[in-house]
């Protein structure tokens, strides 16, 4: 290694190989390749709910919800993804969709079982993510769902 660094000093497991199935899934989800995700998950079903990155804890559903990719979310739900999984910061897919202002995605996943009452490591809910990111449509929608849970 010409720069003077040695392999012994390099951090372990910080970079995934290109052929790592988790890296492949991440690229497919980021690129919106629903068919590619379906093919990969049909062979490696355990990836559906696995973290794509050990440090961040991000899962495929998190990326799809943050991106507002309805078709990808439906594919992941068809494969029994867990909607209430948290990343390393305690964020759920619902929180990420709320922060991004994807009201239709919020409705889709809450109607499919995402819990509006879950909190991240800072005790913030999806509603607070919508408020902090100035997402009035999502805030209104989440307020309606929150009312349903109080009965």
Residue 89's alpha-carbon distances to 55, 93, 95, 119, in angstroms, are: 10, 12, 11, 10
* Host domain of residue 34: 19-149
What total of structural domains would you count in the chain?
1
Q: What is the CATH number of the domain that holds 29?
A: 1.25.40.20
pLDDT at 78: 97
Whether the CB-CB separation of 93 and 101 falls below 8 Å is answered with no
In a domain, 6, yes or no: no
pLDDT at 15: 60
pLDDT tens sequence across 92-121: 999 999 999 999 999 999 999 999 999 999
In a domain, 13, yes or no: no
In a domain, 14, yes or no: no
Question: pLDDT-based confidence at 149, cuts 50/70/90?
Answer: low
Statement: residue 18 has pLDDT above 90: no
Query: Which residue is listed with tokens 């990326």?
Result: 63
């Amino acid at each position: 290694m010409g720069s003077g660094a040695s392999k012994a000093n390099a951090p372990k497991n910080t970079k995934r190989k290109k052929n790592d199935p988790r890296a492949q899934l991440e690229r497919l989800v980021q690129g919106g390749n629903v068919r590619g995700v379906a093919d990969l998950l049909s062979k490696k079903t355990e990836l559906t709910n696995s973290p794509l990155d050990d440090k961040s804890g991000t899962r495929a559903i998190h990326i799809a919800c943050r991106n507002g990719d309805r078709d990808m979310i439906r594919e992941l739900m068809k494969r029994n993804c867990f909607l209430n999984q948290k990343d390393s910061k305690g964020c759920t897919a619902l929180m990420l969709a709320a922060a991004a202002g994807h009201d239709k995605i919020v409705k889709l996943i809450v109607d499919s079982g995402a819990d509006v009452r879950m909190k991240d490591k800072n005790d913030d809910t999806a509603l607070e993510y919508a408020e902090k990111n100035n997402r009035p449509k999502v805030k209104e929608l989440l307020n309606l769902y929150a009312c349903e849970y109080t009965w």
